[in-house]
C-alpha cells in the first residue's frame, strides 16, 4: 500500500512531467491538499492525475490541467482574479495562494455552499464565492487582472473580455462541449486581444442561467 507521502510525491511528479514547471505553482499545489475537495466514492483517487465526478453532475478538473491553467495566468501577488466555475473549489484554493483576492462563481448554489465550507475550514480568507451566471462576469469588481474560465465556451465571452484589465490575462477552454477543446490564453493589449492556443483539453460546457440544485 502506498503511504500518503508517496502519493503526494507521485502527485507532484505527475504535475512536473505534464509541464507544470513554475515553482510557485508547484508550491501552491503542494500546499493545497486535493483530498478535501473530492468526496464520497472517489475520495481514494484524490491524488490521481485525473478529473473526478463531483456533485451536480460536474467534475473537479485534472490536477495537471489546474497547474497548466494556473501557470498560464502568470499570477502576481497583488492580482485580483475572477474564476468562472467554482465546482469543487480546488482551482480557487490554488489561486488563493498566488493572488491577493479571488472571486469565484458557479451556477449551482450547492457547489458554492460546499466550496465555501472548505475554504472556511482551510482558513482561505481571500476567496469570495457566490452563485450566479458567470458568463456575464462580475461587474461590481471589474476590471480584473486575471480571469479563468473552467468550463468550455464556444468563444471567449464578450462581457468577460470587457472586464479584463489592459495587460490582463484570461485563460479559457474554447470549443464545442462534446468535442476536444483548446485551452486559449487571451492577453488584453492597448489596442485589442492576443490569442494563444496552449493545449487540447476537455471541460464541461459553460451554460447560461442558474442550475437547479
Ligand atoms: N474549477 C472547478 C471545476 C469546474 S467544473 C474545480 O476546481 O473543481 C465547471 C463548473 O462550471 C461547474 O461546476 C459548472 O456548474 C460551472 N459553470 C458552467 N457554466 C457556468 C456559468 N455560466 N456560470 C457559472 N458557473 C458555470
- pLDDT, one tens digit per residue, over 132-171 is 999 999 999 999 999 999 999 999 999 999 999 999 999 9
Query: Which distant-in-sequence residues (6+ apart) come within 8 Å of 180 by Cβ?
Result: 200, 201, 202
Q: What is the pLDDT of residues 24-71, one digit of tens each?
A: 999 999 999 999 999 888 988 999 999 999 999 999 999 999 999 999
pLDDT at 119 over 60: yes
Residue 3 above 90 pLDDT?
A: no
User: Can you give the pLDDT at residue 186?
Assistant: 98
Per-residue pLDDT for 102 more than 60? yes
Stated pTM of the model: 0.97
Return the pLDDT at 1.
55
Query: What is the model's pLDDT at position 133?
Result: 97
C-alpha to C-alpha distance for 181 and 202, rounded to whole angstroms: 6
> What per-residue confidence (pLDDT) applies to 211?
87
Assess contact for 112 and 134: CB atoms under 8 A.
Answer: no
In the chain, what are the domain boundaries?
Answer: 4-201
Atom of ligand 1 nearest to the CA of 91: 7
Interatomic CA distance for residues 88 and 75, integer angstroms: 21
Which one, of 171, 175, 169, lies nearest residue 152 by Cα? 175
61 lines ligand 1 (CB under 6 A): yes
pLDDT at 23 over 90: yes
Q: How far is the CA of 90 from the centre of ligand 1 (A)?
A: 12
Judge whether 182 counts as a catalytic residue.
no
For residue 87, the CA-to-ligand 1 centroid distance in Å is: 5
C-alpha cell at 144: 480584473
Q: In this model, does residue 9 exceed pLDDT 70?
A: yes
Cα Rg of the chain (Å, integer): 16
Q: Is 63 in the pocket of ligand 1 (CB under 6 A)?
A: no
Per-residue model confidence (pLDDT) at position 213: 82
> Considering only the top CATH level, what class is 4-201?
alpha beta
Q: How far is the CA of 89 from the centre of ligand 1 (A)?
A: 10
Amino acid at each position: 500500500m502506498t503511504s500518503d507521502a508517496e502519493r503526494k510525491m507521485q502527485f507532484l511528479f505527475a504535475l512536473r512531467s505534464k509541464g507544470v514547471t513554475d515553482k510557485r505553482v508547484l508550491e501552491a499545489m503542494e500546499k493545497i491538499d486535493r483530498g478535501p475537495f473530492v468526496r464520497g466514492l472517489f475520495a481514494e483517487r484524490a491524488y490521481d492525475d485525473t478529473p473526478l465526478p463531483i456533485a451536480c453532475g460536474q467534475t473537479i478538473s485534472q490536477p495537471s490541467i489546474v497547474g497548466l491553467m494556473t501557470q498560464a495566468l502568470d499570477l502576481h501577488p497583488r492580482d485580483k482574479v475572477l474564476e468562472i466555475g467554482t465546482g469543487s473549489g480546488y482551482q480557487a484554493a490554488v489561486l488563493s495562494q498566488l493572488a491577493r483576492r479571488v472571486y469565484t462563481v458557479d451556477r449551482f448554489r450547492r457547489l458554492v455552499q460546499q466550496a465555501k465550507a472548505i475554504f472556511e475550514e482551510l482558513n482561505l480568507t481571500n476567496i469570495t464565492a457566490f452563485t450566479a451566471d458567470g458568463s456575464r462576469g462580475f461587474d461590481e469588481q471589474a476590471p480584473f487582472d486575471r480571469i479563468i474560465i473552467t468550463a468550455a465556451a464556444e468563444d471567449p465571452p464578450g462581457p468577460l473580455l470587457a472586464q479584463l484589465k489592459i495587460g490582463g490575462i484570461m485563460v479559457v477552454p474554447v470549443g464545442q462541449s462534446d468535442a476536444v477543446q483548446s485551452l486559449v490564453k487571451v492577453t488584453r493589449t492597448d489596442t485589442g486581444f492576443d490569442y494563444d492556443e496552449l493545449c487540447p483539453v476537455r471541460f464541461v460546457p459553460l451554460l447560461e442561467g442558474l442550475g437547479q440544485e
